[in-house]
Structure 1
Amino acid sequence: MAIYGTALLAICLLLGLMIGKLLGLMIGVQANVGGVGIAMLLLIFLCDRMRRSGRMKPLTEQGILFWSAIYIPIVVAMAASQNVVKAIDGGALALVAGVLVVAVSFAMVPLIDRFSRSAELASEDVVLPGPVDSAQRIDSVQRTDSVQRTDRDDEVGSSDESGDDPA
């Protein structure tokens, strides 16, 4: 089975790893600093450029989507396992910091969800004067809709009741 997009992915990965290694040397760390992230950014940039210029073929795009579906979870799992090993070797402070970051991240999920829902409602709703919560806003929209239906029913009913039926 041929998987398209492998060459583009390989080029981006090699460039990202080289840039990450150079960044590590520049800041005095004997490690790759962000090479995989740089590779992913390069892949996104190059795919976008190729798509806009019309050089991205559908099979290549599907191949890149296949690799990204496999590649990203593996890289995240590898990085997470390395971070856990380093945190355990680093002592109690590193463990506490890791647990604290995870707890804060979990606590932020409902807050982000609330902001995204309010943004969706704001873009769809009619602006009403004064502070109105979402339940009142939905209720007013439903009442307006039912009033419009009643008006249409009255118009249809009045033409039937007039007795001017030509048939």
Structure 2
Amino acid sequence: MIIYGTALLAVCHLLGIFIGDLLGQALGVKTNVGGVGIAMLLLIFARLYMQKKDMLPKLTELGVEYWGAMYIPVVVAMAAQQDMVSALRGGPVALLSAIAAVGTCAVAIAVINRMERPADDEPVSTPMLHDNPLLADAE
């Protein structure tokens, strides 16, 4: 059953690479744009969908969780292979996209924080010993 988790990862990876290539072509770049990230999102959505529909056995879920955890080092290794100096020399697109990404994350975090319900600020009242009629005689 663990092999099914690996198969799900492989399908998500192939779809992510394909969509990343299509996105690169649409942007006029001759490279994959975000394929690994798209694959990770597909894996997360597939796992959540399968859990909701009760189609994910425990062993398969363990395989998906393992590969989901392994994806982070893979993404870091792939990002380390990119040549940032040539990207910055190529134009301001890299700098503008970095600023846009940081700004988008800041706005998303602010929106999520504002959507959170405030906790009740009322203190919980605890009865005092002298309010208890059974303990009033003990004083």
| TM-score with structure 1 setting the length | 0.58
Equivalenced residue count is 123
Displacement after TM superposition at 1:73 (Å):
2.6
The structure 2 residue matched to 1:123, chosen from 100, 119, 125, is 119
**Does the 8 Å CA contact 1:4/1:60 hold for their aligned counterparts?**
yes
Decide which structure has greater helix share. Answer: 1
1:4-153 matched pairs, under 5 angstroms: 4-79=4-79, 81-83=80-82, 85-86=83-84, 88-89=85-86, 90-91=88-89, 97=95, 122-126=118-122, 141=123, 145=125, 148-150=126-128, 152-153=129-130
Displacement after TM superposition at 1:46 (Å):
1.7
Aligned to 1:160: 138
Question: C-alpha deviations, 1:5-24, integer Å up to 9, x for none?
Answer: 00000001001101111121
Unaligned runs of 5+ in 1: 127-140, 162-167
Unaligned runs of 5+ in 2: none
- Following TM superposition, the consecutive aligned residue runs of length 4 or more in structure 1 with deviations greater than 3 angstroms are none
Give the number of the structure whose alpha-carbon radius of gyration is greater.
Answer: 1
* 2: CA distance, partners of 1:157 / 1:45: 58
* Greater relative CO (CA pairs within 8 A, separation 6+): 2
* 2: CA distance, partners of 1:33 / 1:22: 8
The verdict on how the C-alpha distance between 1:28 and 1:123 changes in structure 2, with shifts beyond 3 A counting, is same
| TM-score with structure 2 setting the length | 0.67
RMSD, aligned CA: 3.2
Identity %: 44
